[in-house]
Amino acid sequence: MPNPGDLTLSRRHLLIGATSAAVTTAPTLAKAQAPVANAQAATVGAPSISKVSFLVNGKPRDLQLDTRTTLLDALREHLHLPGTKKGCDHGQCGACTVIVGGRRINSCLTLAVMHEGDKITTIEGLGTPENQHPMQSAFVKHDGYQCGYCTPGQVCSAVAVLDEIKAGIPSHVSADLLAPPQITAVELRERMSGNICRCGAYSNIVDAITEVSGRKA
């Protein structure tokens, strides 16, 4: 080691001193960081599981779910109802539309545990091939689909749209917000704008909804 009175410090001596300091402080630093690491490990533990009960297509269903499970995944993966489709998974295409408490929602944007006690209707609950809902029959009659991937969401949304109009709920294109909304092509296109059909069957979808609205009148 150099004489303490010698102010000349070589590169070799600098490296030796730095290494010694690192070795000395490492155990202290590790000990100080241990509580933080333990707290982080506890946070990353097992997922939180919760029980949720709701009425799906008229049947009571009880599930034990990770609280992060979306309603869409609960329907598809846990209740094995694949009619509700996973499209964008960002609430932009409408393929996952279901009816909850009489209102249409994007099931990919909501957690299953948020719907405790709710009444949920999927495409499977609207009708069957042997006993179709009038909206399903109208979609078939008017060729309101091509590839069919978006059709379950389109049909669920269309059924809810007519209920919205019947309830007097206006849309962005309603001329008078206080007057009962009318069933027009403009109204239907606006209300169905959240359901994307990449095949472009929009005009046929409007024809199908218009026919069913006439049946209801």
Could you read off the pLDDT of 189-207 as tens digits, one per residue?
A: 999 999 999 999 999 999 9
pLDDT of residue 31: 63
Give start-end residues of each CATH 3.10.20.30 domain in the chain: 49-125
CA distances from 150 to 13, 20, 45, 66, 112 (A): 73, 67, 38, 27, 22
* Residue that has been written with the tokens 């490990």 in this structure: 41
Strands (E), the chain: 49-56, 59-66, 97-100, 103-106, 119-121
* Tokens at 201, concatenated: 């069957």
User: Do residues 138 and 120 make contact, with C-beta atoms less than 8 angstroms apart?
Assistant: no
Give the residues across from 121 on adjacent strands.
99
Amino acid symbol at 1: M
Give start-end residues of each CATH 1.10.150.120 domain in the chain: 127-216
Q: Are strands 119-121 and 49-56 parallel, antiparallel or unpaired?
A: parallel
pLDDT of residue 40: 61
pLDDT, tens only, 86-98: 999 999 999 999 9
User: Do residues 108 and 117 make contact, with C-beta atoms less than 8 angstroms apart?
Assistant: no
CATH among 3.10.20.30, 3.40.1180.10, 3.30.70.260, 1.20.120.790 for 49-125: 3.10.20.30
Number of Cβ within 10 Å of residue 182's Cβ equals 11
Give the residues across from 66 on adjacent strands.
49
pLDDT, tens only, 31-62: 666 666 565 655 566 789 999 999 999 999 99
Could you tell me which residues come within 8 angstroms of residue 84 by beta carbon, excluding any fewer than 6 positions away?
A: 72, 75, 76, 95, 96, 97, 98, 107, 122, 123, 152, 153
CATH among 3.30.1330.10, 1.10.10.60, 3.40.50.180, 1.10.150.120 for 127-216: 1.10.150.120
